[in-house]
Structure 1
Amino acid sequence: MNKMTRETTQRARSLRTIVAPLIAMTLVMAACGSDDAAEPAAEPAAEAPAAAAEPTGEPLKVMTVTTLNAAGPTYQNIANTAIAYQDYINARGGIAGRQLEVTVCDEQFDPAIATTCAREAVEEDMVSIVGSFTYFAESIVPVIAESSITWFGACCPITPSELSSPYSFNIGNQPMYAVGMVERAVSDGCKSINAIIIDGAQVFIPPMENAIKALGMSFGNVIILPPTAQDYSSEVAQATTNADCVVAVISETPFITWNTAWAQSGTDAQQYGPQGNLNSVSAAGAEEATDGNIIAGMYPDISTEPFAEYRVALDESGLDTTALDYNSLGGLGTWAAFVGFTQIAETINGEITAESFYQAADTTSNLDLNGMVPVLDFTQDWTDGLEGYNRLFNRSVVFSELDNGKVVPLTSEFKDVSNLATGTAD
């Protein structure tokens, strides 16, 4: 590993509070949680699991890969969550009585450095790479798979290897939440629906069009939105013309500009957007205009019971939870990934290695994360689904809404949108 990357990794191992500037550039990046200020996490549960015996033996070494130092978007919330989980679980006896040791590898938004992270995982005998997000997983997954190291629990798989490699075990479900937006708009009684897709997220269009066709409708217009603009007034006017509802696949930073124009337009159209993007940050200053807007996501809100321990861990970590967005795909997804890793690792009889963990994950048919996601079956590929998405095990969505600019849970049960994504009505 080059000197800069190794130094960054060492810093991340003992990471506590780092606030870095961020301008989100793409949908997935912002949904994973930007470094923009966000609403505070809910208060932790009154009681947390009690401390257990000190972990013993050799530590279980895992890695989390993300972007920390780059000119563009960074994901400090992913790194912080990984370290918070490490400290939380070690204070409660570790995993199978062993200490968890997390290395956060900063790929610096560089595919060559991402490959270096993969090689370090191999050289350091990592058990798995857990809860990561990077645009360069294609530089990682094939490298680690040669040593049976799994790519485990990704919130936002976007590359071919993530979505097809037998060593990839995704917990997130991109682009299913966009399908969920369409389903919800139709079920809410929308009669004329336009779609707004930020440029670079066109991969979302086919499953969205499959869904609306299966529901007996079609989009009045599909508008490709430039990712950066001073004003979106003309696009808002286009989106709301002859439409009572708009489904918007927009990242957080452009959503700020979009919602400003949305409020200025005076439209009474209903808006649907993605978790982590249509949120309290992007709604600030447009609270009245966005009131009642629907949010489709992969995970329940951070304030709900499934994430009670996450709230405790964040509180114990001393992190400033108002500085970064932890109620996002990156924050929630990383926590869910580590919980899943722990559950599977503790089923292993004998040594916990990359190979034994892969075998255990590959035979896990009932991974129950207590409501963070539906119960997952890693033994069944999605062979009759979207082509190239066979390792998408979670294909359900959950909904929240904006209430005077604050995100509040709307539904507690997951909606499976597998059939809609392929163009078949339920």
Structure 2
Amino acid sequence: MSARRRRTALLATAVPLTACTALLAGCGAVPSTGDGDDDTVTVMTWAPEGTQATNMPGMPAMAQAYARWVNAEGGINGRRLRVLTCNDHNDTVRAARCGARAKKEGVVAVVGSYSQHGRSFMPALESAGIPYIGGYGVADQEFSSPFSYPVNGGLPALVAGNGRQLAAGDCSHVSLVRPDTTVGDQLPRLIDAGLAEGGAGPVTDVRAPEDATAYGRHARKALADANAYGGGTVGTAAQGAAANGPCVTAVLGGRTNIFFDSFRHLQKDSPPVRTASVLGSVRQSLVDQTGGAKSPLEGAFATGWYPADGDPRWKPMKHVIQEHAFGDNRVDSSDPGVQTTWIAYTVLKQVLESMDDGEDVTAKSVRGALDRGGPVDTGGLTPKLNWNYDNMLAARDFPRIVNTMVTYQRVRNGRLTKVHDGFVDVQKTLERGSPAS
């Protein structure tokens, strides 16, 4: 190893959260490609914005803030990175266009992105050999394609972990309110797998549209089912009451707050029912916006991928947001999408720095470095990540998951706080929740 590479490796270990991106350009801009310019490496970050369903504008915005920051520091190994952004509009056709754009522009990776439409975008990436690093984890192809390098366990890990968390919280019965989509269809069996480990379940499945403007009917069904099957008595969630009471968990992305608002009004005339969700559907900014300690989310259980927003391991990311997002209110440090983008670019930076001096940075060489490289350190925000064959999950639906850790949090006094230190491993739960091969 050259002296330069030794210095780079030491820097990557000492400051693992240093991430990279590029000067931004819109989807219509024509950048220098990874193959055509030795001084510039082009990547892409995409996410839906301005839609009636789930919107994740903070992810490309975070990539843009990274771009300003890392290029101000001299780039990576002397190379500037350019970030293309694309809006998939939660639409299969637009998602395919984003994938085709990545291929046309010769990007070396798609990094820290969100799209539910893996069947639409992944073929273009696979045909061009472009790695997909750090997707949000809502498309099945993120956990099956050999070109995908997830940094978390996605929605499957969150929901399986949520089941385990609720079982440990002595929920006598759980009603799951989830999107009536193909993504949502896999959630009941995953939460059932988690509940079963604690001797609870099965869950009552309440399907709901992911783009509704009101959820009164679904809230009534969830509440009725919880009370009918749950039995027992329990105090209010805000009182921290415990055993043998029914629970309702909602996984509706950006519409979760609308559901819980409807649910809160119905609860006034009903026996108390505890609530729960997963991070992404619930975040600190949502608790703040809905009343803090008086929020309907007070007392709610929450399962996440990463440490709580107040954890000191997020300080480097928050510094970049403060210095380089320029007051952009799309960038919320408590947003798991923003956090995933930060971690994904951390991975990209370390992978680029691990490559031999003078090696061409192409989609093929980046993917080779990901496949052959050693564990990537994310500064404790995840376990060390390694996508070698031996680290793959023994589950037919999710073989590419290499990080099966989740965290348990709860809203207390208006703050999302950790329930205990460290991570909870849901590997066995995911394997049980995946259909047999």
Please report the TM-score for the alignment, with normalisation by the length of structure 1.
Answer: 0.79
Check if 1:182 corresponds to 2:163: yes
Residue 282 of structure 1, CA deviation? 4.9
Residue 252 of structure 1, CA deviation? 4.5
2:27–2:84 Cα contact (<8 Å) kept? yes
Check if 1:167 corresponds to 2:147: yes
AA aligned to 1:169 is Y
Q: How many correspondences in the alignment?
A: 376
Match of 2:373 in 1: 364
2:129–2:364 Cα contact (<8 Å) kept? yes
What SS does structure 2 have at the residue aligned with 1:9? coil
Provide structure 1 residue ranges, at least 5 long, that are not aligned to the other structure.
Answer: 1-5, 14-55
Residue 269 of structure 1, CA deviation? 3.0
Match of 1:408 in 2: 417
Check if 1:377 corresponds to 2:362: no
- Shift of the 304–321 alpha-carbon distance from structure 1 to 2, 3 Å rule, reads farther
For 1:352, which of 357, 361, 364 is the aligned residue? 361
Check if 1:231 corresponds to 2:186: no
2:393–2:402 Cα contact (<8 Å) kept? no
Residue 81 of structure 1, CA deviation? 0.6
Check if 1:213 corresponds to 2:222: no
- Shift of the 282–116 alpha-carbon distance from structure 1 to 2, 3 Å rule, reads closer
2-structure distance, mates of 1:190, 1:117: 43
1:181-215 superposed Cα distances (whole Å, 9 cap, x missing partner): 11112223334434333432121111222222233
- Shift of the 11–306 alpha-carbon distance from structure 1 to 2, 3 Å rule, reads farther
Check if 1:343 corresponds to 2:343: no
Check if 1:256 corresponds to 2:257: yes
For 2:178, which of 188, 192, 197 is the aligned residue? 197
1-structure distance, mates of 2:205, 2:55: 29
Residue 303 of structure 1, CA deviation? 2.7
- Shift of the 335–7 alpha-carbon distance from structure 1 to 2, 3 Å rule, reads closer
- Shift of the 315–112 alpha-carbon distance from structure 1 to 2, 3 Å rule, reads same
2-structure distance, mates of 1:158, 1:409: 28
- Shift of the 398–384 alpha-carbon distance from structure 1 to 2, 3 Å rule, reads closer
For 2:129, which of 145, 148, 162 is the aligned residue? 148
What SS does structure 2 have at the residue aligned with 1:386? coil
Residue 73 of structure 1, CA deviation? 4.2
Residue 159 of structure 1, CA deviation? 3.1
Residue 234 of structure 1, CA deviation? 1.7
Match of 1:25 in 2: none
1:294–1:400 Cα contact (<8 Å) kept? yes
**Stretch moving more, 255-264 or 83-92:** 255-264
1-structure distance, mates of 2:174, 2:305: 22
1-structure distance, mates of 2:362, 2:390: 24
2:178–2:252 Cα contact (<8 Å) kept? no
Match of 1:331 in 2: 338
Q: How does 1:116-135 map to 2 (within 5 A)?
A: 116-135=97-116
AA aligned to 2:216 is D
2-structure distance, mates of 1:384, 1:281: 33
- Shift of the 231–113 alpha-carbon distance from structure 1 to 2, 3 Å rule, reads closer
Residue 311 of structure 1, CA deviation? 0.6
Check if 1:305 corresponds to 2:312: yes
Q: How does 1:22-171 map to 2 (within 5 A)?
A: 58-68=39-49, 70=51, 72-160=53-141, 162-171=142-151
**Stretch moving more, 182-191 or 304-313:** 182-191
* Higher share in helix: 2
1:195–1:219 Cα contact (<8 Å) kept? no
Q: How does 1:263-302 map to 2 (within 5 A)?
A: 263-264=264-265, 265-266=267-268, 267-280=271-284, 282-283=286-287, 284-285=290-291, 287-288=293-294, 289-302=296-309
Residue 259 of structure 1, CA deviation? 2.3
For 1:389, which of 383, 398, 414 is the aligned residue? 398
AA aligned to 1:237 is L
Q: How does 1:5-24 map to 2 (within 5 A)?
A: 8-9=26-27
1:57–1:98 Cα contact (<8 Å) kept? yes
Residue 340 of structure 1, CA deviation? 0.7
1-structure distance, mates of 2:186, 2:392: 19
**Stretch moving more, 356-365 or 248-257:** 248-257
AA aligned to 1:313 is V
1:196–1:239 Cα contact (<8 Å) kept? no
- Shift of the 120–195 alpha-carbon distance from structure 1 to 2, 3 Å rule, reads closer
Residue 398 of structure 1, CA deviation? 0.8
2:371–2:388 Cα contact (<8 Å) kept? yes
2-structure distance, mates of 1:400, 1:12: 43
Residue 7 of structure 1, CA deviation? 8.8
Q: Which has the higher contact order (CA 8 A, sep 6+)?
A: 1
- Shift of the 59–304 alpha-carbon distance from structure 1 to 2, 3 Å rule, reads same
What SS does structure 2 have at the residue aligned with 1:358? helix
AA aligned to 1:250 is V
What SS does structure 1 have at the residue aligned with 2:206? strand
1:112-164 superposed Cα distances (whole Å, 9 cap, x missing partner): 3433333332333211111111123322222222332111111224133x221
2:284–2:334 Cα contact (<8 Å) kept? no
2:408–2:418 Cα contact (<8 Å) kept? yes
1:182–1:247 Cα contact (<8 Å) kept? no
2:26–2:84 Cα contact (<8 Å) kept? no
What SS does structure 1 have at the residue aligned with 2:43? strand
Q: Percent identity of the aligned residues?
A: 20
